[in-house]
Amino acid sequence: MKAKPRLSTELENALEKWAEESLAGIGVFRAKTPDFEKWKEKTIESLRSVYSDETIAMFLSTKDDRKIEKPDGFARITGSCGDTMEIFLKIDNGIITDCSFQTDGCNPSKAAGGMVAKIVKGEKINESKKLTPQVLLNALGGLPKEHEHCAALAIDTLKKALKSLEKSRRRKDSHTSVDDGIDYR
């Protein structure tokens, strides 16, 4: 088996923290387990055998797992798996200047949301509409078959958020009127 490349220090630290938290979740603690470091190493090795480093980086250290206050576009979808994804968009002159997400889902859902945000920032709205689950899966370095639906959930949520921009724009246009001299305060 080919060895995976060395990770950045930031990602390596995040991965070690995640492994320690995962082990604690099953009752394996550093203070109580003489070979804790081996357990931690095996946990990290197992994760890296299932997920690409891109996917791991997204679910461990994305900076876009956050809410944008007063977004220009927003959507929330609950997928067939029960995971809920929200996508928030800020737009300026047809360009997505900021994108973030929140999910109550699994790590692959978090990775998919993070990668969507990373891909669309700085993109034109029309280009972002062309994003597909397969493009997202490729950017993530793939996902296990049982988690590929996470990419579809993220893309569906993005597309719904982009549609909300059109509805918002139409509402603003319909409320724009010529000054008729009446004080509406």
Alpha helices in 82-132 (DSSP H): 107-120, 125-128
pLDDT of residue 16: 94
pLDDT of residue 185: 29
Token pair 């790590």 in the structure block, residue = 107
pLDDT means per 10 residues, the chain with 185 residues, are 76 92 95 96 95 94 94 96 97 97 96 98 97 98 97 98 83 48 32
CATH architecture for segment(s) 73-173: Alpha-Beta Complex (3.90)
pLDDT of residue 176: 45
Alpha helices in the chain (DSSP H): 9-25, 36-50, 53-61, 107-120, 125-128, 133-139, 149-175
Phi-psi region of 37 (alpha: psi -120 to 50; beta: other; left: phi over 0): alpha
pLDDT of residue 1: 52
CA dihedral 143, 148, 153, 155 (to 10 degrees): 70
The domains of the chain are located at 9-50, 73-173
